[in-house]
Amino acid sequence: MTTTPGTPKRRDLGLRYAYILVGCALGALSYPMFLLPNNIAPGGVTGIATIITYAFGLPTGLVSLGLNIPLFLYGWRMMGRRFLLRTAVATVVFSLLIDLIKVKPLTHDPLMASVFGGVLLGVGLGLILRGGATTGGTDLLARLVHQKVPPITVGAFLFAFDVAVILMAGFTMSAEHAMYALICVYIAARVLDTVLAGIGTDKACNVITNQDAAIAGRLMNELGRGVTIIDATGSYSGQGVRMLLCVVGRMEVTRLKQIVQEEDPKAFMFITDTHETLGEGFRGILDDGF
C-alpha cells in the first residue's frame, strides 16, 4: 500500500489535536465535577476566574476566556504560527467547556475534591501540552515577563503567580480554601509531569561485568532485547571493564537478573525506571503524536 508524502504530517496533526481536545474536555470537567462546587481556585488565570465567580457569580469559563484574550493578543508575536493556532483552540475550547459541561458534583468534601480535581486537571493539562499547545494565560505572561526581565525565569514566575492566586483565595474565601487549592495545584503538577514523561514501567538495566559477551548473547537470544556494550574504567583498580545497557519490560527483570547471576556472580548491576521507552522492540517514537 502506498502513502502520499503528506500522510505522516496529517496523522501527526490529527493526533496533536486529538490530545488537545481530549485534554480540554478532561481538564474542563474537573471544574464542575470537583473544583467549582467546593470553591477551589487551582492557580493560574482560571484560578482567578474561580475567585471572581465566587465573589460575583459570573461564569467561570467566560471570565477565564476574557482574561486570556488580552494576554493572548499581546503575546502572539512570541509564538510560531502552528503553536499559536493550537493554543488559541485550546484556550477557547477549555474555557467554554468549563461552562458548557453540566454534570453533578461528585463530592462536596473539599479534600476529596482537591485531590481528584487535581488529578483530572493534571491529566487534561498534560494532554494539552503533549498536543503542543497551552491554555494561554500565565504561560504567555511568564514568557513575556522573562523576555522583559531575563533573571525572572518562566518556572519561577509561574510558581509565584500560582502562590499569589492561592493567597488571593485565602483572603477572598478562607484560609482552608487556600490550603485545599495548594493541595490541588501540587497534585495537578505531579500528574501533569507523569503524563508528559510517561509512567515508567520499563527498566534500564546496567551491568558491569567481565563476562559481557556471554551475558549479552543470552539477553539477545533468550529475551530478544538489544544490548549496548560500553567500555568503562574502574576508578579504584584502573582496569578496563565492560558495562552492558539493556532496557527490558518489568516482567523480564527477574529473568535478566538470573542470567547475570548465572554468568557472573561478581557482576555489579543497577536498575532504574525509564520514563519513556521508544524505538525498536518498544513503542514507536511518533506513536504519541510528536
Integer Cα distance of 14 and 7 in angstroms: 10
207 plus 98 within the same structural domain: no
Q: Report pLDDT for 193.
A: 79
Distance from CA of residue 135 to its chain's centroid?
14
What distance in Å separates the CA atoms of residue 203 and residue 269, rounded to the nearest whole number?
12
The residue out of 171, 197, 223 marking a domain boundary is: 197
- Cβ neighbors of 141 (< 8 A, separation 6 or more) are 71, 75, 157, 161
Contacts of 249 (CB under 8 A, 6+ apart): 201, 202, 203
Pick the closest to residue 227 from 210, 241, 211, 206 (CA basis): 206
pLDDT tens figures, 159-168: 888 889 999 9
Question: Is residue 233 a part of any domain in this protein?
Answer: yes
* Weakly modelled stretches of the chain, pLDDT under 50: 1-6, 289-290
Q: Which domain holds residue 186?
A: 7-197
Q: Do residues 53 and 94 share a domain?
A: yes
pLDDT digits over 176-207, tens only? 999 999 999 999 988 887 887 666 667 889 99
Give the number of other CB atoms < 10 A from CB of residue 173. 19
Report the run of H or E that residue 274 belongs to, with start and end.
strand 268-274
How high is the pLDDT of residue 86?
85
Do the Cβ atoms of 67 and 59 come closer than 8 Å?
no
Is 209 found in the same domain as 182? no
The total number of structural domains in the chain stands at: 2
| 250: enclosing H helix or E strand | none
Instruction: Indicate if 186 and 227 belong to the same structural domain.
Output: no
List the one residue out of 195, 44, 60, 181 whose CA is nearest residue 122.
195
In terms of domains, do 16 and 50 share one?
Answer: yes
**Domain identity same for 126 and 210:** no
Which residue do the cell numbers 474565601 mark? 173
Q: Please spell the DSSP secondary structure of 65-80, one letter per residue.
A: HHHHHHHHHHHGGGS-
For residue 1, the model assigns a pLDDT of 41
Predicted confidence at residue 30, as pLDDT, reads 96
